[in-house]
A and B are shown apart, each in its own frame.
Chain A
């Protein structure tokens, strides 16, 4: 079965960076695109961006442009999300999720997320 296993909780200081991983299993990695969402304590879900594992194509939420980088490693079926210049406002649970691609390039996709990681809590505090 499809599983997304995320890395463990992180505590980071303001101004530093964090890199969260999302290891996929149970399917061919390039058959699904990966999105990242986050949820600040008591707040709503926020879409952060998309990556196509086959070719590394990314599309980021405008508010995070310049601070976020999403990558994938097809050899280990792992997606990564790096966020830089952290502030306390980045304190949140970060989720990866997968959307089915009808081709490796994800030119046509299912626009919903059947599979989610368990979440990674990031705390940004001095």
Chain B
């Protein structure tokens, strides 16, 4: 059982938007600006797509956005593309040098 709760799967058609939620507690997600999101294609290492709750690394399209409200963080992918089909993981820094992860959400582009 993962510390952070994500939906197991979401789906959308090309061009549509989907939102993936990530629910934790005041000790992790709700405790600061330490939420990050990772995209993982099959057989590949995770790739950072969001950090510090809302920021995008250079090279990540602005179709990827995120926010947080209370103990729940959310990732929105707009203008869905076929290559967005992947697993998405939220991650939160907790206590000193510890991290907790969500169980992952499989995004299917219909």
Instruction: Report the bound CA distance from A113 to B102 in whole Å.
Output: 15
**Alpha-carbon gap, A110 to B97, bound state (A):** 11
Q: Place the interface of chain B in its size category.
A: 20 to 34
Among candidates B2, B45, B47, B97, residue contacting A44 with C-beta atoms closer than 8 Å: B2
Question: A44-B103, A47-B101 given as contacts; is B48 within 8 A of A113 (CB)?
Answer: yes
Give the contacting residue for A95; candidates B2, B45, B91, B104; CB below 8 A.
B45
Q: Given A113-B48, A114-B57, do A45 and B98 touch, yes or no (CB 8 Å)? A: no
Nearest CB in chain A: distance from B20 CB, A: 14
CB-based nearest A residue for B89: A45
Q: Is A119 an interface position by the 8 A CB rule?
A: yes
Q: How far is the CB of B61 from chain A (nearest CB, A)?
A: 17
Choose among A47, A106, A119 the residue that contacts B45 (Cβ–Cβ < 8 A).
A119
Interface residues on A, range: 20 to 34
Contact B46 A112 (CB under 8 A): no
B18 within 8 A of A: no
Q: Is the CB of A50 within 8 A of B102?
A: no
10 contacts between A and B (CB under 8 A): A33-B97, A35-B99, A37-B101, A45-B89, A47-B100, A50-B98, A111-B51, A111-B93, A112-B36, A114-B57
Chain B interface residues toward A at CB < 8 A: 2, 34, 36, 38, 40, 45-48, 51-52, 57, 89, 91, 93, 96-104
Beyond A111-B51, A114-B51, 5 extra complex contacts between A and B, CB < 8 Å: A44-B102, A95-B45, A111-B99, A112-B91, A116-B47
Q: State the 7 A-B residue pairs at the shortest beta-carbon distance, nearest first.
A: A111-B93, A112-B36, A112-B51, A59-B97, A116-B45, A50-B97, A111-B34
